[in-house]
Amino acid sequence: MNLLSFRGGIHPPHSKEMTEHLPVEKALEPEIVVIPLQQHIGAPCKAIVEVGEKVKVGQKIGEAGGFVSAPVHSSISGTVKKIEKRMIINGTGTCIVIESDGLNEVHESVVPKGDVETLEPKEILDIINEAGIVGMGGAGFPTRVKLSPPPDKKIDVLILNGAECEPYLTSDHRLMLETPEDVVYGLRAVMRVLGLEKAYIAIENNKMDAVLSMKEAAKEFTGIQVVVVKTKYPQGSEKQLIYACSQREVPSGALPMDAGAVVSNVATMSAISKAIRTGMPLIERICTVTGDGIVEPKNIMIKNGTRISEIIAQAGGYKGEPGKLILGGPMMGFAQFTDDLPSTKTTSGVLVFTEEQARLPEPNPCIRCGKCVDICPSFIQPFAISAYSLNGMFDMAEKNNAMDCIECGSCSFICPSKRPLLHSIRMAKREILSKRRKTK
């Protein structure tokens, strides 16, 4: 079989065997949820409830704070206890703390919205907007914005991202196996919004069971094509996936829509399907709790705002002394210094490493082996940008296309001298961006 793919990339160990065959379990009902007002790229929400107010499941508690924003909803029924700044992933942010009354009463606004075939594209877009749906693959970009390209951008390629190229994570895999019809339903809604007859569902060839499951679910819809892509990291990266499926390169510095493409995650489709069919906004998701530092790795359906420490406890707790706690996968996830954090719409994985795994090797001098250049999926030269960055020569880093880095981390992974390549490139990107802001 001729597999679709991109140029460059790496083959990290999958490490998915711990959870890929485990059906999704429902998490225990949280007694308290902490719902951050910012769970997406863009402006934070404004709280529309007050301390002491009763809220129900699915009730909107935070209104979108701008065009690029998405509302948040309560995932339980109970009482608002506090609205305060709390630690969230990557910093602090205002959160709404709700104490459960244990009843899980559903809010009156949660009613079926109709059928995808009869709803108007504009209506579907409003449902997606009201349900607070964001890209669930990790970045959390508001889906409504993604599906509303400016009129001059003609979208003709729609790709569903079921690649799940991050090692360890299996939440999308399980979703495609267990509720593929939700994914297809959501996809049909998006096709309607964009006015497209055709769409791809791209899945890596290490998940052939998911390929079969999706093919079966999509067989009535001739416009939907399940394509098998090569198992290679970062296959699930937006630009790389567009290239694999359509051989189009998103122009440097531009967005997928500039190449006429929209990529969205399979879990996002499932959320859209729920929002249309049941009216329930995005208040829960599948999360893979895994790693050698977890007693009983599993895939669980968690309610938005559940604390990470509770999620870990439900997977048997820590095995030994944890060395590193990562939200997301090992390639692009974020290491945390505490587990007292709320989960969000984008918490696809909670990964715990042992102390031994957590320690990164000491860097040695670059031997100019060129491996980072060979594997870079953006075709830039990580070693050169890194060297410029470490010497404070950020203008040279910019000239060497530092801004084209997609931060996939393949260079740092492959480097035989264990150099902090991505780390230093990120530093250069920050400096370049802050300089650009200043000169504007």
* Binding positions for another protein, rule: CB under 8 A: 10, 12-13, 167, 239, 243, 249-254, 259, 309, 321-326, 330-340, 351, 353, 358-361, 364-371, 373-374, 377-381, 383-384, 400-401, 404, 407, 409-410, 412-418, 422-423, 426
48/358 with CB nearer another protein: 358
296/407 with CB nearer another protein: 407
Nearest to 306 by CA among 255, 350, 367, 361: 350
* Half-sphere exposure (Cβ direction) of 72: Cα atoms closer than 13 Å: 34
198/359 with CB nearer another protein: 359
Nearest to 164 by CA among 66, 85, 245, 241: 241
Measured in whole angstroms, how far is the alpha carbon of residue 259 from the centre of its chain?
21
58/382 with CB nearer another protein: 382
Q: What number of other Cβ atoms are within 10 A of residue 60's Cβ?
A: 20
Q: For the chain, what's the residue count?
A: 440
Q: Do residues 154 and 318 lie in contact, with contact meaning Cβ atoms separated by under 8 Å? A: no
Q: Closest separation between CB of residue 334 and another protein, Å?
A: 7
Q: Closest separation between CB of residue 3 and another protein, Å?
A: 19
219/368 with CB nearer another protein: 368
Place of tokens 């998701």: 285
280/312 with CB nearer another protein: 312
**Gap between the Cα atoms of 242 and 59, Å rounded:** 36
Angle at 166 between CA 164 and CA 167, to 5 degrees: 115
Q: Closest separation between CB of residue 191 and another protein, Å?
A: 25
Cα torsion at 69, 74, 80, 83 (round to 10°)? -20
Q: Closest separation between CB of residue 2 and another protein, Å?
A: 22
Both tokens of 232, joined, read: 């290679």
Q: Closest separation between CB of residue 404 and another protein, Å?
A: 5
Instruction: Give the DSSP H/E element, type plus range, for residue 34.
Output: strand 32-36
49/372 with CB nearer another protein: 372
Q: Closest separation between CB of residue 339 and another protein, Å?
A: 6
| Amino acid in position 120 | E
